[in-house]
Amino acid sequence: MTIGRRTLLTAGTAAAVVAMTQACRPTTSRVTSSDRDTVLNLYSSRHYDTDQSLYEGFRQATGIQVKVVEAEADQLIERIKNEGQNSPADLFMTVDAGRLWRAEQEGLFQPMASNRLTQAIPANLRHPQGLWFGLTKRARVIMYNKSVVKPADLSTYEDLANPKWRGRILVRSSTNVYNQSLVGSLIAAHGTAATETWVRGLVANFARDPEGGDIDQIKAVAAGLGDIAIANTYYLARLLKSPQPENRQVAQTIGVFFPNQGDRGTHINISGAGVVKTAPHPQAALQFLEYLVSPTAQRIFAQGNNEYPVVAGVALDSVVAGFGTFKADPLNAAVFGRNNPEALRITDRAGWT
């Protein structure tokens, strides 16, 4: 999405949902016997079949049915705005802090207080005033062709502007919100001027004009169209677990490198949600958020969509764990989300199309 420019669930997992709902039944002191709801209206831009198991697990734990409206994040934001006070939306869920920031700027969220959420979710992965909460983590890393690039050749995001990478880097468009948030994190680390210099150096090193999504960049590296790519780890995990042998073969040629381990750490984005300001069922929405940070739900996020859990102690998917451990940038997601508009202006000026 853009701003003003362009716009497997396994049987084992299902069984775990049923078996563990009693242990993970969400509670909140704000819900009384007189205001319990039987329905929750969720507007979500997460298009993952495995999320259905989250909805079913919540229904079994609470008796509340989750009704889902799915669309792109910007479309859902506009829909909630247009529906106004009559909107049925209780909860807006999306990927990337930049999109949560956009919804926040439109005044769509109400602050929510929950000890369970603040204890489960690290402070840098939730809004300081409780407007939204991170539910999963996504690492945006450097991926490389193992037959051409050695890990010792790699170091930081900043080094990607080094002329040694001329004609070797693949990345999707700057209109993609993931890239805007990455640039937003660099703005926080170095300021606007230095970040623009970095973007110009990065653009000079592109192997081709940006096209396609993260999986396209990974496949292009495997095909020799470039040597390294910037991409989210869960896309590579998806290829490694693909039922199609050709996808697994592509993925096996690719290595994962976590940048900036000697300083601030690798850029981490989030998938998250906030309670809509006009929510007809705000208590049900809060209960659902609390359910989503339960061990059961966090395991479904991790195993079902190859994401990193926000809750400490929840096991990673085995394929994702195989990428290795890393130091994560502790920058609050609200900061780089807020920097997205400036990031897009910088990439426009620098020619990152």
202 and 74, same structural domain? Answer: no
Residue 159 maps to which CATH number? 3.40.190.10
323 domain residue, yes or no: no
206 domain residue, yes or no: yes
276 domain residue, yes or no: yes
Placement of tokens 């079913």 in the chain: 56
263-322: pLDDT as tens digits: 999 999 999 999 999 999 999 999 999 999 999 999 999 999 999 999 999 999 999 999
333 and 208, same structural domain? Answer: yes
4 domain residue, yes or no: no
Rounded to the nearest 10 degrees, how much is the dihedral formed by the CA atoms of 214, 13, 323, 143?
-10
181 and 130, same structural domain? Answer: no
294 domain residue, yes or no: yes
333 and 217, same structural domain? Answer: yes
In the chain, the number of structural domains is 2
3 domain residue, yes or no: no
Check pLDDT > 50 for residue 260: yes
Q: How confident is the model at residue 48 (pLDDT cuts 50, 70, 90)?
A: confident
5 domain residue, yes or no: no
117 and 46, same structural domain? Answer: yes
218-231: pLDDT as tens digits: 999 999 999 999 99
* pTM: predicted TM-score of the whole model, two decimal places: 0.88
259 and 184, same structural domain? Answer: yes
pLDDT at residue 149, rounded to an integer:
98
277 and 189, same structural domain? Answer: no
99 and 174, same structural domain? Answer: no
158 and 260, same structural domain? Answer: yes
104 and 45, same structural domain? Answer: yes
pLDDT at residue 36, rounded to an integer:
57
216 and 342, same structural domain? Answer: yes
Structural domain boundaries enclosing 203: 138-266+328-350
284 and 228, same structural domain? Answer: no
